[in-house]
Amino acid sequence: MDSLVSLLLAMKERVDELMARLDIRGKAQRIEHLQTQSSAPDFWNDPESAQKVMQEIARLQAEVERWQSLAQRINDALDLAALGDQSLLDDLTEEVNALTPIVERMALQTLLSGPYDHENAILAIHAGAGGTDSQDWAQMLERMYIRWAEQNGYKIEVIERSEGEEAGIKSVTLSVRGEYAYGYLQSEQGVHRLVRLSPFDAANRRHTSFAKVELWPDIQGTIDIEINEKDLRIDTYRAGGAGGQHVQKNDTAVRITHLPSGIVVQCQNQRSQMQNRERALQILKARLFEMERKKQEAQLAALKGENVDAGWGNQIRSYVLHPYRMVKDHRTDFETGNTDAVLDGRLNEFMEAYLRFKVEKTSAATLQ
């Protein structure tokens, strides 16, 4: 019983510290202030502003209630242990075993402190040079992220998909919806390298394939970016499905080219051309927003004398299937020999290692 109490007290101390760091008390007060604001008679006179307030209330409530519930659960277990009843030992052991991974997961989420980490995400995969092998690799990555989303309770939707000539895909854009989707998927941005015996090589030789993963926060309706219609070229085409069959008989798919930046966005998953156009514009705003944010970060890094991201040449992770089996992240040095599990969506260990690496890097830069 004493060992269980010690574990619970350590959990309580850790959770109290994390709640203080996240200012959960201050966020609870913020909720009260916003709720008072929302009860004003003229609150809905400005629907757009009111909607933003209601969204902030919902987001803060979810965070505050999650932490308060965890703290209460630990306190309840401590109260139970204080009774000293040995017949409760099994129940307490089970509760401590259940609480341990929850505390670890919640502690990890405190690393997701960026302003957009809690947002939904837009993830795009592009096959690199290498023809069919790279297109097949892009499709393997698509499956890996879909499996990760399914395993972790995220909703995923294909926004646009371009099939390869023989196999695989040239590119795919996915919407990933759920809490902290953008925060967790930040670890995946960059070039992914695959080494294997090619199934498309008659001589069965070893090939190296590349695919690039891009990511943007899906900040729908809240991005303050003005786009001049004269800067856009909008094309429509027929939404295609597997095997070359058409999902729609009409030209419902939309391709928008932002002429000043050269950014091209496509959307084909909505029912109408208008819906696809609106969704494509949302994605374009997200990409322009992220591009500007990264530009500012690069300028700041240059002033500090830091290395700036090399973009396409920034190989972040290698997946080796021959002559040995290993997946290694080149930023964190985290690696595993269980390649099948990784390609089947087990990415959380890589994501956690990257988040810790990112926090340590930020802390080190602050101390300089």
DSSP string, 114-128: STTTTSEEEEEEEE-
One domain for residues 104 and 121: no
One domain for residues 214 and 229: no
Q: What is the DSSP string of 98-114?
A: HHHHHHHHHHHHTT--S
Instruction: Tell me the pLDDT tens digit for each residue of 340-361.
Output: 999 999 999 999 999 988 877 7
One domain for residues 101 and 6: yes
For residue 321, is it within any domain? no
Average pLDDT over residues 106-111: 81
One domain for residues 101 and 121: no
Instruction: Mark which of 79, 109, 139 sits at the end of a domain.
Output: 109
For residue 165, is it within any domain? yes
- pLDDT number for residue 276: 92
For residue 322, is it within any domain? no
One domain for residues 333 and 263: no
Residues spanned by the domain of 100: 2-109
One domain for residues 183 and 35: no
One domain for residues 272 and 343: no
For the full predicted model, state whether its pTM sits above 0.75.
no
* Conformation bin of residue 220: beta by default, left when phi > 0, alpha when psi is -120 to 50: beta
Q: Give ∠ CA 336-341-342 in degrees, rounded to 5.
A: 65
Residues in the chain: 368
For residue 125, is it within any domain? yes
Which percentage of the chain shows pLDDT scores above 90?
Answer: 56
For residue 297, is it within any domain? yes
- pLDDT number for residue 314: 67
Q: List the CATH number of the domain containing 38.
A: 1.20.58.410
State the CB neighbour count (10 A cutoff) for residue 111.
Answer: 16
One domain for residues 206 and 229: no
User: Which two three-digit tokens encode residue 97?
Assistant: 């075993």
Amino acid, res. 358:
K
- pLDDT number for residue 227: 86
Amino acid, res. 94:
E
Alpha-carbon span 116 to 217, nearest angstrom: 7
Give Cα 115 distance to the centre of its chain. 13
Higher-pLDDT residue of 47, 271? 47
For residue 58, is it within any domain? yes
- pLDDT number for residue 9: 94
For residue 90, is it within any domain? yes
Point out the least confidently predicted range of 64-73, 226-235, 288-297. 288-297
One domain for residues 211 and 345: yes
Instruction: Mark which of 303, 321, 353 sits at the end of a domain.
Output: 303
One domain for residues 126 and 207: yes
Number of domains in the chain: 3
Instruction: Mark which of 285, 303, 321 sits at the end of a domain.
Output: 303
Q: What are phi and psi of 158, to 5 degrees?
A: -85, 120
- pLDDT number for residue 365: 53
pLDDT at residue 331 greater than cutoff 50:
yes
Instruction: Tell me the pLDDT tens digit for each residue of 251-269.
Output: 789 999 999 999 999 998 8
Q: List the CATH number of the domain containing 298.
A: 3.30.160.20
Q: Token pair 């933003």 is at which residue?
A: 52
Q: What are phi and psi of 176, to 5 degrees?
A: -115, 115
One domain for residues 175 and 252: no
One domain for residues 214 and 225: no
For residue 324, is it within any domain? no
